[in-house]
A = this chain, B = another copy of it.
Amino acid sequence: MATYKLYGRGESGNTYKVALMLNLCELDWAPEFVDFFDPETKSRFRSAVNQMGEIPVLEFGSERLTQSGVILTYLSALTGRFGGKNEEERLEILRWLLFDNHRFSSFYATLRMRVGLKGEVESPVTEFLRMQANAAFVDVERHLDGRSYVVGDRPTIADISMAGYIYFDEKTGIDLATYPRISAWASRISRLPGWAHPYDLMPRAMGLERQ
List chain A positions with a Cβ less than 8 A from chain B: 51-52, 65-67, 69-70, 73-74, 91, 94-95, 97-99, 101-102, 106, 123-125, 128, 139, 142-143
Extra inter-chain contacts (8) besides given A67-B98, A70-B94, A74-B91, CB under 8 Å: A51-B143, A69-B94, A70-B95, A97-B98, A98-B98, A101-B101, A102-B102, A125-B125
A32 CB, min distance to chain B CBs, angstroms: 20
Q: Which residues of chain B are near A102, meaning CB under 8 Å?
A: 101-102, 106
Contacts of A66 in B (CB 8 A): 95
What are 20 A-B pairs with beta-carbon distances under 8 A?
Answer: A51-B142, A51-B143, A67-B94, A67-B95, A67-B98, A67-B99, A69-B98, A70-B91, A70-B94, A70-B95, A70-B98, A73-B94, A97-B98, A98-B101, A101-B102, A102-B102, A102-B106, A123-B124, A124-B124, A128-B128
CA–CA, A139 and B66, complex, Å: 14
> Is the beta-carbon distance between B91 and A65 smaller than 8 angstroms?
yes
A136 CB to closest chain B CB (Å) equals 10
Chain B nearest CB from A145 CB (Å) reads: 10
Complex: how many Å from CA A66 to CA B102? 14
Which B residues are in CB contact (< 8 Å) with A106? Answer: 102, 106
How far is the CB of A55 from the nearest CB of chain B, in Å? 14
Taking CB atoms, residues of chain B closer than 8 Å to A142 are 51
Q: Shortest Cβ distance from A62 into chain B, in angstroms?
A: 13
B139 touches A52 (CB 8 A): yes
What chain B residues lie within 8 Å of A143 (beta carbons)? 51
